[in-house]
Amino acid sequence: MTDVLSHIDGVPGFKVAGVHAGLKDDVALDFALIVSDSPCTVAGVFTTNQVKSAHVLVDMERLQKKRTGYRAVAVNTKCANACTGQQGIDNALQMARWVAEKVGCAEDEVLVMSTGVIGTQLPMDKIKRGIELASEKLDAGQDAWKRTAEAIMTTDTRPKLASLKSEDSYTIAGIAKGAGMIAPNMATMLGLVVTDAALPEADILPALQKASDRSFNCISVDGDTSTNDTVLLLSTGKVAATDIDAPLEAVCRSLAQGVVRDGEGASKFITIQVFGAESDATAKAIANTIAISPLVKTAFYGGDANWGRIMMAAGRAGVALDPKNVKLWVAGGEVERRELLLFSDGMPTDYSEERATAIMHEPSIYVTLDCGQGKGHAVVWTCDLSHDYVSINGHYRS
C-alpha cells in the first residue's frame, strides 16, 4: 500500500468547488459542492443522536431507497438545519433541487450535508448563491480540493485532506471537518470520501462501516455527539479493485486523526490503547471513558502525571475491572510503546516521577492499559482539554 498524502491531486471523474456564499460573516469559504461526471454508488454513516438534522434525515431516506445513481453532494456551514421542523426538511429538499438543476441530474441524485448552529433555519438566498457560485467554479485540481476542504470548516483551524493512489491505479481521497462535538459512535463530524475504485452496491456500506469503526468511531474530543454527523463514500466504479478495505481504512484514519489533532483548543495528541479486556466492546468502553474524562484531559493539558485519574476513569466505564489485574504504561509518541510502567499488582510501581512528567509534556502521548482479564482490545485517539476549548465554546455563536 502506498502512503496516505495530506493533499488531493485529483480523483478521476470528480470536480469540486469551495466558495464564499455569505454564510460566514467574513470572507471565508463557507459552501462546498462535489460533483461526479458519472452516477456513483454511495454509502453513508450517520449520527446516532436522536435529534437529527433535516439534512441527515433527507440523506438517510434517499440512501434507504437506493444506493446508486448519485451525482452530487452539497455542504453548507454556519447552520446545522437541526431542530427546524418541516421547514427544515423543505429547505434541505430545495437545496438538493437547486443543485440538481445546475448539475443536470434528478433531484434525488443529490445529497446534502450541513454543520453549524442548531435551531436556526437555512438562509435560502445564501444557499442559492452558494450553489450558483460553486457550480461555476467546479474543478478537478489540487487547489479546488483544498478550497473545498476549507469550505466545510467551522472552528477547525486547518483543512483535513487525505488521498491514496493504489497499485491497481485507483484513487481514494477524502475531506473532513470537525473540531468539537467529536465523540465516538459516529464521529461527530462531516466526512466525504470519493474513489474511482469499483465498490459494488452490496459491498459499499459494509466497507464504509468497517473503515469508520476503525477510524472515525475511534476519536473523541469532548464526548458530545452532533445532530449532523455524516460520512459519505462515493464510488464511480470505473477501476476494478481488489481488497480496498485497508486503503479505505488508511484514508479514513488519516482524516479522523486529523480531526483530533485539530480538536478545539487541543495542544496534545493522545492515543489510548486498552487490551486484556473481557471483549472488544468492553475495551472500547474503558478507552472511551478515559478519553472523555475532563479530569484526565485537563491533567494531560497541564502536563501533570496524575495517572490515578486514568485509573479512576477506567473504573467508572460501567464494565467490570479488577485493579489488582491492571497494568498501566505511558510513553511519548504515537507508536505503540510501553515505556514507563506506572501501576501494577494493585499499586504504583517505583517509577521515575521525573520521567513521567517529561512524557506528559510531550506533544503526543501513548497510554496503554492492560486489564488482565481477557482478549478484548481497542484504540481511541483523543486530545487534551484546554483553556482555549472553553473560550471557543463559551462564545461559539457570537
Q: How far apart are CA 387 and CA 206, in angstroms?
A: 40
Q: Which is nearer to its own copies, 206 or 318 (CB)?
A: 318
Q: Which of the following is catalytic: 148, 171, 188, 227?
A: 188
Q: Which is nearer to its own copies, 248 or 378 (CB)?
A: 378
Residue with cell 476513569: 313
Residue 298 is a catalytic residue: no
Q: What phi, psi does 20 have (nearest 5°)?
A: -100, 110
Strand partners, 219: 381
The least CB distance from residue 187 to its own copies, in Å, is 13
Please give the distance of CA 33 from its chain centroid, rounded to a whole number. Answer: 19
Q: Which is nearer to its own copies, 82 or 234 (CB)?
A: 82
Q: Which of 54, 36, 38, 34 is nearest to 46 (CA)?
A: 54
Q: Which is nearer to its own copies, 352 or 391 (CB)?
A: 391
Q: How far apart are CA 240 and CA 184, in angstroms?
A: 33
The least CB distance from residue 20 to its own copies, in Å, is 24
Yes or no: say if 99 and 74 are a contact pair by the CB < 8 Å rule.
yes
Rg (CA), the chain: 21
Q: Which is nearer to its own copies, 120 or 142 (CB)?
A: 120
Q: Which is nearer to its own copies, 195 or 225 (CB)?
A: 225
Q: How far apart are CA 179 and CA 197, in angstroms?
A: 29
The least CB distance from residue 390 to its own copies, in Å, is 5
Q: What phi, psi does 225 have (nearest 5°)?
A: -120, 125
DSSP-derived letter for residue 154 is S
The least CB distance from residue 378 to its own copies, in Å, is 17
DSSP characters over 114-130: E-SBTT----HHHHHHH
The least CB distance from residue 68 to its own copies, in Å, is 31
Residues that bind its own copies (CB under 8 A): 48-52, 80, 82-88, 117-120, 180-181, 183, 222-227, 292-295, 298-299, 301-302, 304, 306-309, 311-317, 319-324, 342-343, 345-348, 385-387, 389-391, 393-398
The least CB distance from residue 203 to its own copies, in Å, is 30
* Strands laid side by side in the 219-220 sheet: 219-220, 376-383, 269-277, 364-370, 327-332, 340-344, 347-348
Residue with cell 433531484: 107
Q: Which is nearer to its own copies, 108 or 304 (CB)?
A: 304
Yes or no: say if 198 and 240 are a contact pair by the CB < 8 Å rule.
yes
How far is CA 147 from each of CA 163, 189, 281, rounded to the nearest angstrom?
Answer: 15, 18, 38
The least CB distance from residue 161 to its own copies, in Å, is 26
Task: Indicate which residues carry an active-site annotation.
Answer: 188
